[in-house]
Structure 1
């Protein structure tokens, strides 16, 4: 794992009599990509390794890649099947987890199926809905492919109860909850001089959105609203140039990471999560930890992450935003403090132990 991604969390060391695991993680999402999936895995890997387990990551940085159509910043492995099979054999895994349904994940799924190797998967993205938003592909076709991919495993990990129920109703098997966490030391309320300088003196309220600037994030629903104060967008993506042209009143600051990202959260007054297709939305926890109330649609992700004490959900996003401005920042921070990474790491580890012992 790159040093710049090394987290500062620790899972309790392997208990006496409990053997450390050799875990092979297969993922198409990895550095230099910056998103909730990558942040989750880099944090969890650091915790697992700190507890004495060995994690081998099979990711795009180990392959010849091509840019993803429409998302040139996302590298896709080119014909990875043979190489993935060799990497899995060399890692001698006690447990295999396939995190994504991209080319590398698909190669691992095929190899495990051929060899009868048990594995688990995780469902980070509503891929059928994402694909449907860009291409005329029926949802039923995509979900059929997703069922084949995930139902071959011993367990499918999802972030929320709403998503678990939805996938269960669509014929997915062995669906298990896998919570998320937030770094409450990095993401925290800050004094004026610790906030992002570019945002400090903008007209209030500062209404912030953080995420990929792409069609599936539904960011237009936020930017088209008539709102007081200043709209700020943190992130990069294929729609950035077009949205800058269409919304000259919006402050686009580009992608931000780590301390710089935390300073941007701290400078805002309310956080907007306009996506209807994310399975969780880690940025909502980051915003809450920074003391920001959240406004969102009442859909999977927000329905499970937010409570009326820290967020407002409404099909009229403007109504949700204006109502969220009245939520005390202290309540948001207190709620986030209850959502650390320890439970997330333990749930994953427990699932992998079950698979390795099967």
Structure 2
């Protein structure tokens, strides 16, 4: 990934300082675990320091959270009852909330699944309102209905993207992708990368002590953080671990629909002594996971700009990831990218486990890349986009 910075016309100096009404519209929201959900929550909470902020979302995997609540920072959250079909949250009641949005409100739509974007587009057209679209990741096909996705993208989602008053993307490559795939005018696309919270910037690590001659090294401590779902493809990582010859141990931090399947796979592969399912971690507990690990691994099929990778880099962890969209832009030049196969991942893990001095360079490069990626800067850039778009 090349160094990311906002375009020249996005500068903190252009922020007007006025108080806005902002509605963040997202298919899912914490307590559901996920990078997009965390990004929306962070933006909503920090924007609420000087704006009136609401979130319109669904109750998908909300863990019993109330349908109406005032949450951290005074953010008002409205969760609509949803049915999940083909990894897509369907919440008909959301459309009513969209139709009741007051004029003059910033409608900030976060896109990563179908249906919700179309509801925003239709409600805005019916009422003559404008919206800003935040493009996190291109949706890939999954499940039996996946064959309909190309038609959906061409005839529905393309209209949503082109109809936005402005579009926020995470990388320059996403800007080019939207222009090529959906015909979006690059002039109305703004590059604003994700950020990292201060608590993840840990002190530089001290090199480990080399084992005495003839003694076996301690297992290399691997860490994965994220949802246990199809996109993250932790099954690929377990298959890779079964091929690794060097002593390693893997902690899987997170939860999801595939947890039981993955536990069964680990047992089937004889990995019970190498793999630990640690469950969800938050706050100081998650920071400690980064601090205790030696190598962060991400076996995803695709990403937008994974928060966990940025956090790992800030914590001084070297990153090993699959060379797929999103990971390439984030990790290239500062981490280790490998083909998305168990064999390639296993070979890279073995190489690093044998020569742990090779971990120092990607760890330092990763820290340098995210050194200026604080959330305060991201929020300032987001507010600047609001100003430039005319909200």
Q: Could you say whether these structures have the same fold, taking a TM-score greater than 0.5 normalized by the shorter chain as the test?
A: yes
Partner of 1:68: 84
Matched, 1:244 2:263: yes
Equivalent in the alignment of 1:276: 301
CA-to-partner distance for each residue in 1:167-214, whole Å, 9 max, x for gaps?
Answer: 22112414331211111324525999xxxxxxxxx9521111111111
Query: With structure 1 as the length reference, what TM-score do the two structures score?
Result: 0.81
State yes or no: 1:311 paired with 2:335: yes
When the two structures are superposed, what TM-score results if normalisation uses the length of structure 2? 0.75
| Contact map agreement 2:304 2:325 (CA 8 A) in 1 | yes
Deviation at 1:303, TM superposition (A): 2.1
Find the partner of 1:341 among 375, 378, 382. 375
Decide whether the 8 Å contact of 2:161 with 2:182 is kept in 1: no
Structure 2: distance between partners of 1:132 and 1:75:
14
Q: Which runs of 5+ in 1 are unaligned?
A: 1-11, 193-201
Matching residue of 1:117: 129
> Cα 1:234–1:346, aligned 2, differ >3 Å: closer, same or farther?
same
Q: Can you list the C-alpha shifts for 1:53-98, whole angstroms capped at 9, x where unaligned? A: 2222222242441342476xx9653432223212x13xx4342111
On the 8 A contact 1:186/1:262 being kept in 2, the answer is yes
| Structure 1 position 118, deviation (Å) | 1.2
Alignment of 1:147-296 (within 5 A): 147-174=158-185, 175-188=189-202, 204-225=219-240, 226-227=243-244, 228=246, 229-248=248-267, 249=271, 250-296=275-321
**Structure 2 SS opposite 1:44:** helix
SS of aligned partner of 1:170: helix
Displacement of 1:157 in angstroms is: 1.4
Taking a change above 3 Å as real, the CA distance of residues 136 and 311 of structure 1, as seen in their structure-2 partners, is same
Moved more, 218-227 or 285-294: 218-227
**Residue correspondences, number:** 328
> Which range moved further: 41-50 or 114-123?
41-50
Q: CA deviation at 1:29?
A: 2.0
Unpaired segments of 5 or more residues in structure 2?
Answer: 1-11, 59-66, 68-77, 207-216
**CA distance in 1 between partners of 2:390 and 2:374 (Å):** 26
Deviations 1:129-148, CA, capped at 9 Å, x for gaps: 1x346644155223213212
RMSD: 2.9
Distance in 2 between residues matched to 1:142 and 1:294, nearest whole Å: 35
1:99 and 1:321 map into 2 onto residues whose CA distance is: 35
Q: Is the 8 A contact 1:122 1:157 kept in 2?
A: yes
**1:47 partnered with 2:19:** no
- Give CA-to-partner distance per residue, 1:311-346, whole Å, 9 cap, x none: 111212234444565221444334332321233212
Question: Contact 1:24/1:57 (CA < 8 Å) preserved in 2?
Answer: yes
Contact 2:108–2:133 (CA<8 Å) still a contact in 1? yes
CA gap of 1:211–1:133, structure 2 versus 1, over 3 A, is farther
